[in-house]
Amino acid sequence: MTPSRRKHCDGVKCWVCNQYFKDSKTLQAHYRNIHQTTQSQINYTCLERTITKCKEEIAKNNYIIRQLNVQNENLRKDALKLRKENKTLKEENNAFKKKVANDYYLNQYEIAQNEIIELIQEKDILIREAEAKDKEIFLLQDQISNLTISNGKIELELTPLSGLIYLDIYYVM
């Protein structure tokens, strides 16, 4: 069946006058009598209409293809922009992670540095205390070396700062 003779619920349609007929034989008789066309003219006209419709469809499809190509190109551009933006965001994220890690390690370094300073200060205090004890020991050793024993008494000669002090210590022989 050609495109000009579409079936209808009541029969076949004439493409010239849009009338419906009960079958294709009646339609062909209608073409010959009313429109004075031969079968070859009918076939040729049907082919022309089919070709015209196909050209129209091709033009529509070409237009749709051009639109889709434009949309596709726009999508490619958008995808490229998104890839660049994604790369930039990844770089920013990595930089942020490094900054956070650097801040953490810098903070840990500062804490350790403060602890070292505190330990050095404690060490200095202990050194001063040890030096003071060493001085006391030295003075005591000096005082012990100045001890003399006479007549059962121990005399202790102290440094000039404290003056001369005698200790009465009796010892048994």
- How many other CB atoms are found less than 10 A from the CB of residue 156? 15
What pLDDT shows up at residue 20?
Answer: 83
43-80 pLDDT, tens digit per residue, is 677 778 888 888 999 999 999 999 999 999 999 999 99
To the question of pTM greater than 0.75 for the whole model, the response is no
CA dist., res. 117 & res. 108, Å (int): 14
β-pairing, 165-170 with 153-156? Answer: antiparallel
Q: At what angle do helices 39-145 and 24-33 cross, to 10 degrees?
A: 120
CA dist., res. 45 & res. 8, Å (int): 21
127-163 pLDDT, tens digit per residue, is 999 999 989 888 888 877 776 655 555 555 544 444 4
What pLDDT shows up at residue 1?
Answer: 43
What pLDDT shows up at residue 118?
Answer: 96
Beta strands in 15-164 (DSSP E): 20-21, 148-150, 153-156
